Amino acid sequence: MDFFTQNLKCLQEYDPELAERVASQSFPDNINVIRSKNGLPVPQIAGVTLHSQYRPLEEGDRTTVDFVIDPKRKVMVFGLGFGYHIQALLKKQAGDLTVVEPLMSIFRAFMTCMDIRPFLPRVRFRIGETPACLLARLETDQWNIFKHLASIKIGEAYYRRLDEGLEVRNLLQQRSLRVMIVNPVYGGSLPTAHHCAGALRNMGHEVATVDCEAFERGFFSLKGVTRHPVNSEILSRNFMNFMGEIAAAKASEFQPDLVLALAQAPLTPDAIQKLRALKVPVVFWFVEDFRTLPYWNEIATSYDHIFTLQNGTFHDELRAKEVRDCYYLPQACFPDIHKPLDGKGADAHQADVSFMGAAYHNRVQSFPRLMDLDFKIWGEGWNLETPMGQQVQNDNKRVSTEETVAIYNAAKINLNLHSSTYHYGINPDGDFVNPRTFEIAACRGFQLVDNRKDLSRMFKVGEEIIAFDTMDQLREQIDYYLLRPEERNTIALKSYQRVQMEHTMEHRMQELLIHVFLDRRPALASMEETERDPLDYCVEQAGENTDLGQYLKQFKGQYPFNLKTVIDHIHQGEGALDNKESLFLMMNQILKENV
């Protein structure tokens, strides 16, 4: 019996992104399905039969009989096959489990030959995901691993890589790396550079930054020195060489374990080679659209690793240039900054519909149809003399990160239309998700976002986030959700929970480090273990997501951290004490009296 159509409909309810991926796959030619003696389907691949040819269900019971269920730990199954061992594990325990399978071909055959309904909703299938992605987004300390040996034999290289990744993740938790970040001079990548630095510090690593933004005025003043294109090019090249010397000098002094450059960092191939002479990984996170900023052609082969917001065509082009390693790493939020505000933003930021962003062509063309709404715009480059320009709240001045957070908090609906310089509305080929998507979610703001190819990889569209395919549909959604505040709040909460679980900058930096050091485990293991940070210990004991844990996090980076650190902070504050501060003062007084 062919279950595929029925299964696909079921899977779309629980994991629409995986359903979309498997729907595009045809039945694999390299998998042969035979019938066991009792009539059940059994897959064969590369000469290996993945289950018993006689009684696969009984074999599943037999191979799992000694597996110990620990209610405090998450069952992780390495290997899918046709799931007979998974059915046995589901009978043994009442909780959920996660199945890790590297081969989409196996999953496609499974979807065709087996009824998926006995597995849902208790099984989460992680199919074809990189080890670094899995290890960065899932709490590995709580893994209780069951290995399906026949599947391990087929996917030996992948599962070995996953085991090595677990080792790297554990080593990274025990060691403090010295990371040097090369910031861009200006532009949208600059906030991401700052968030990377903050995330790495939160993870316990030592960070030094090359603050290229300090030279922004000088960079732009060079453009006015001459109109002659040859001379202008010479000046620009000299500036880049100068910035490269600054980065090399900083690296020589800091002696980093890793160098991370963000998109538009002013590094020439020569400068990158100087950094690579330190014999540490030099990596590049290109957090821009490769079609809009094609300068990556000049520097791509110089880096050890390139991380990108886009894969597919971009990775094909990078591989054609024989780039050493390219890896898909989407944007994220930084919860230290992007977070819900108690007051939900100032009155000046409140609006039925808000937009924060620059005046790109598609936005200028699309937004006039929203003029009859309570619609406010913040951003740069808008024509203030037009009727739409009257909606701009900041007089085209740069909006601070703090004010951006207030805007996201205050709006009933945050409009998120990805930029395009030539479309009249939505870019039908949009293949990356902008940081605003994650940042609004982290502020627990409700947003309407144009549909993107990768959006369903990040959120459950329709449940955790609402996407539109046309401007007419956007208008319908605005009218619908303005009348339904409870529905907006429910969706915004689910979106917030998703980014906290999988899409923070700490997740991205963890994934980047695991991927980079997977082939450098000896170097990582040879580093000295870091002494336990007393603040990290206190946060862990309090609970990272508790009020006390969140309160303590503000002292990150203050050395030494002790009770006096907290007491001094309280004495410097103003206003009424909250319960936590009162308890700290009482504890301090008790300790004084007992000395």
What is the residue-wise DSSP string for 169-181? HHHHHH---EEEE
* pLDDT grade for 344, boundaries at 50, 70 and 90: low
Structure tokens at 475: 């208008």
Place of tokens 């994650």: 438
Given a cut of 80, is residue 542 above it in pLDDT? no
**For the ranges 34-48, 251-265, 525-539, which has the lowest average pLDDT?**
525-539
Question: Could you count the other beta carbons within 10 Å of the beta carbon of residue 471?
Answer: 19
Q: Once rounded to an integer, what is the mean pLDDT over residues 358-374?
A: 94
Query: Residue 368 half-sphere exposure, CB side, CA atoms within 13 Å?
Result: 8
Q: Do residues 82 and 114 lie in contact, with contact meaning Cβ atoms separated by under 8 Å?
A: yes
Instruction: Determine the pLDDT at residue 572.
Output: 75
**330 in Cβ contact with 437 (< 8 Å):** no
pLDDT given for residue 595 in this prediction: 41
Half-sphere exposure in the Cβ direction for 138 (13 Å, CA): 24
Strand order in the sheet with 206-210: 206-210, 178-182, 258-262, 282-286, 305-308, 326-328
Q: Which residue has the higher pLDDT, 344 or 205?
A: 205
Peptide bond into 335 cis (omega under 30): no
- 3-state helix/strand/coil string of 356-394: ECCCCHHHHHHHHHHCCCCEEEECCCCCCCCCHHHHECC
Q: How far apart are CA 173 and CA 130, in angstroms?
A: 20
Q: Which domains does the chain have, with CATH numbers?
A: 4-172 (3.40.50), 176-328 (3.40.50.2000), 347-502 (3.40.50.2000), 532-593 (no CATH)
Q: Report the chain's mean pLDDT, rounded to a whole number.
A: 91
Average pLDDT over residues 314-340: 96
CA atoms within 13 A on the CB side of 151: 25
Residue 566's closest CA among 577, 552, 550?
552
Average pLDDT estimate for 6-24: 94
Residues of the chain above pLDDT 90, percent: 75
Report the pLDDT averaged over residues 47-73.
Answer: 94
Predicted confidence (pLDDT) per residue in 253-265, tens digit: 999 999 999 999 9
Residues 418-432: tens digit of each pLDDT: 998 888 889 988 999
CA distance 592 to 595: 5
What's the rounded Cα separation, in Å, for the pair 96 and 86?
Answer: 11
Per-residue pLDDT, 579: 75
Judge whether residue 286 has pLDDT over 60: yes
Q: Where do the H-state alpha helices sit in 53-155?
A: 56-64, 84-92, 104-113, 131-137, 149-154
Q: How far is CA 420 from CA 185, 269, 317, 364, 424, in A?
A: 23, 29, 22, 10, 8
Per-residue model confidence (pLDDT) at position 487: 98
User: Rounded CA gap, 490 and 539, in Å?
Assistant: 29
Q: Most distant CA pair in the chain: distance in Å? A: 84
Q: Residue 77: pLDDT band by 50, 70, 90 thresholds?
A: very high
**What is the pLDDT, as a whole number, of residue 533?**
66
**CA-CA-CA-CA dihedral for 27, 452, 504, 414, to nearest 10:** -150
Looking at the chain, how many residues does it have? 595
pTM: 0.86
Q: What pLDDT digit, counting tens, does each position of 450-494 carry?
A: 999 999 999 999 999 999 999 999 999 999 999 999 999 999 999
- How many Å is the Cα radius of gyration of the chain? 26
Residue type, 155: G
Q: Are 534 and 561 in contact (CB under 8 A)?
A: yes
State pLDDT tens for residues 200-227: 999 999 999 999 998 888 777 776 776 7
Q: Please give the Cα distance from 477 to 417 (Å, whole number).
A: 14
> Among 93-107, 116-130, 330-344, 463-477, whose mean pLDDT is lowest?
330-344
> Residue 223 is encoded by which pair of tokens?
């453009």
Mean pLDDT of 366-394: 95
pLDDT at 594 over 60: no
3-class DSSP assignment, residue 101: strand
Q: How many other C-beta atoms are found inside a 10 Å radius of the C-beta of residue 233?
A: 11
pLDDT at 561 over 80: no
Instruction: Tell me how far apart the alpha carbons of residues 503 and 129 are, in angstroms, rounded to a whole number.
Output: 15
Six token digits for residue 33:
């399905």
Confidence of residue 559 (pLDDT cuts 50, 70, 90): low
Residues 6+ apart with CB under 8 A from 432: 289, 309, 310, 330, 331, 452, 454
State how far the Cα of 565 lies from the Cα of 531, in Å rounded to an integer: 19
pLDDT at residue number 342 = 84
pLDDT, one tens digit per residue, over 124-146 is: 999 999 999 999 998 887 899 99
Mean pLDDT of 157-185: 95
Q: Kindly give, in sequence order, each residue whose CB lies less than 8 Å from that of residue 310, ignoring residues fewer than 6 positions away.
A: 289, 290, 328, 431, 432
Question: What is the rounded average pLDDT of the residues 176-195?
Answer: 94
Copy the structure tokens of residue 351. 């609006």
